Amino acid sequence: MSERAELYFNVDHGYLEGLVRGCKANLLTQKDYINLVQCETLEDLKIHLQTTDYGNFLANETNPLTVSKIDTEMRKKLCREFEYFRNHSLEPLSTFLTYMTCSYMIDNVILLMNGALQKKSVKEVLAKCHPLGRFTEMEAVNIAETTSDLFRAVLVETPLAPFFQDCMSENALDELNIELLRNKLYKSYLEEFYKFCKNHGDVTAEIMCPILEFEADRRAVIITLNSFGTELSKEDREALFPTCGKLYPEGLRLLAQAEDFEQMKRVADHYGVYKPLFEAVGGSGGKTLEDVFYEREVQMNVLAFNRQFHYGVFYAYVKLKEQEMRNIVWIAECISQRHRTKINSYIPIL
């Protein structure tokens, strides 16, 4: 079966795969980063970025240049590329790409609801939304009072609708509930996406499943880490863990019982994949758990490009590009705040 898929892959998706590989080749190199780090002002940064694939994407920005402008323009550029992929994609790649946007949509919905809760104007919050996760009904989320309201009125037609099955409730949407909602949504989203990739089979499953497993485990760990010292009960916590990772089921049960970082680390020690990650935390350079996870993610995404005829490259490209944007924003922030000591702690993309 897999041979046949490889035979026919290029008929439908060959063009896009070629394109995405070309895009990947244009990611900033180590040399570019070295040059970026040397920049004195944001203008210098802009000039240097002009020599890379970003081109004169900031050409039409009015002065003065700020970090957020750079960020917005970079996002817009990524969004343009992604839209191009999406507009030229065929099934099942287009479904795959839709799945990719769902995580951004979830983030946007949550962001908007939080904004509404804090009585911020919609426009202000909208500017912060990720353009990849934009959809028409998005701005209407603040009319909903409860989760089921939200689902019935606003999100029933969006791709997010299937993820709502677990989180229908009549609770008023306060901050905690929104956070719970986000995690529940993300959990069912990840599980669905995982199922989709698994069912698709072939190289796509071989590449995407480990990446999504890692993503699920990362979320479980981060949820655990964030829930220390909050009123979230252990049962509730366990209900939020995505179940498609390597930690499922024993690891998740243990994680649910963990009470501090040390206990969490002990759980990770049972897993060959995560042990070195936890050991790297706080080592040389004072890396946080987040950094370590990011590094591991980058590594997996780069490796995805070693195989051909699968959809994982699209996912990996967008994630790598996101990491690159985070790096640039980090460097730009360090430059603009004249805080150069930590400028080198971006995540290198191999």
Partner 1 sequence: MGSMFRSEEVALVQLFLPTAAAYSCVSQLGELGLVEFRDLNASVSAFQRRFVVDVRRCEELEKTFTFLQEEVRRAGLVLSPPEGKLPAPPPRDLLRIQEETDRLAQELRDVRGNQQALRAQLHQLRLHSAVLGQSHGPPMAAAAYAEGPSSERTPLISAPGGSHTDLKVNFVAGAVEPHKAAALERLLWRACRGFLIASFREMESQLEDPVTGEPATWMTFVISYWGEQIGQKIRKITDCFHCHIFPYLEQEQARHGVLQQLQQQSQELQEVLEETERFLSQVLGRVQQLLPSGQVQVRKMKAVYLALNQCSVSTTHKCLIAEGWCAACDLPALQQALQDSSSEAGVSAVAHRIPCRDMPPTLIRTNRFTASFQGIVDAYGVGRYQEVNPAPYTIITFPFLFAVMFGDVGHGLLMFLFALAMVLMENRPAVKAAQNEIWQTFFGGRYLLLLMGLFSIYTGFIYNECFSCATTIFPSGWSVAAMANQSGWSDKYLSQHPVLTLDPNIPGVFLGPYPFGIDPVWSLASNHLSFLNSFKMKMSVILGVTHMAFGVFLSIFNHVHFGQAHRLLLETLPELIFLLGLFGYLVFLVVYKWLQVSVSSAASAPSILIHFINMFLFAHSSTNLPLFPGQEVTQYTLVVLALAMVPVLLLGTPLYLLRQHRRLTARVACSQDENKDRLLDSSDASISENGWSPDEEKAGCPGDEEAEFVASEAFMHQAIHTIEFCLGCISNTASYLRLWALSLAHAQLSEVLWAMVMRVGLSMGREVGVAAVVLVPVFAAFAVMTVAILLVMEGLSAFLHALRLHWVEFQNKFYLGTGYKLSPFTFTTDD
Nearer residue to partner 1 within complex by CB, 55 or 286:
55
Nearest by Cα to 42 from 61, 75, 62, 70: 70
Q: Residue 216 and residue 5: Cα distance in Å, rounded?
A: 28
Asked if 290 touches partner 1 (CB under 8 A), the answer is no
Please pick, from the candidates 53, 139, 291, 333, the single residue that binds partner 1 as defined by CB under 8 A: 139
Nearer residue to partner 1 within complex by CB, 135 or 248:
135
Q: Which stretch binds partner 1 (CB under 8 A): 146-154, 200-208, 258-266, 304-312?
A: 146-154
Contacts with 331 (C-beta within 8 Å, 6 or more apart), sequence order: 33, 36, 37, 39, 45, 343, 346
Asked if 148 touches partner 1 (CB under 8 A), the answer is no
Nearest by Cα to 236 from 151, 290, 179, 173: 179
Q: Which stretch binds partner 1 (CB under 8 A): 4-12, 37-45, 91-99, 251-259?
A: 37-45
Please pick, from the candidates 7, 25, 47, 168, the single residue that binds partner 1 as defined by CB under 8 A: 47
Cite the DSSP H helix spans in 129-227.
147-149, 175-200, 202-227
Nearer residue to partner 1 within complex by CB, 46 or 310:
46
Q: Tell me the backbone φ, ψ of residue 48, rounded to 5 degrees.
A: -70, -40
Nearest by Cα to 159 from 143, 179, 177, 136: 136
Asked if 6 touches partner 1 (CB under 8 A), the answer is no
Asked if 7 touches partner 1 (CB under 8 A), the answer is no
* Residue burial 122-147, b: 16+ Cβ < 10 Å; e: rest: eeebeeebbbbbebeebbebbebeeb
Asked if 118 touches partner 1 (CB under 8 A), the answer is no
**Residue 169 C-beta: closest distance to partner 1, Å:** 18
Please pick, from the candidates 44, 53, 81, 192, the single residue that binds partner 1 as defined by CB under 8 A: 44
Site for partner 1 in 151-180 (CB under 8 A): 152-154, 156-157
Please pick, from the candidates 19, 27, 117, 122, the single residue that binds partner 1 as defined by CB under 8 A: 122
Q: Tell me the backbone φ, ψ of residue 172, rounded to 5 degrees.
A: -65, 150
Asked if 37 touches partner 1 (CB under 8 A), the answer is no
Q: Is residue 299 a contact partner of residue 217, using CB atoms and an 8 Å limit? A: no
Asked if 35 touches partner 1 (CB under 8 A), the answer is yes
∠ Cα 129 144 112 (to 5°): 15
Asked if 43 touches partner 1 (CB under 8 A), the answer is yes
Binding site for partner 1 (CB under 8 A): 35, 38-39, 43-44, 47-48, 51, 59-60, 122, 136-140, 142-143, 152-154, 156-157
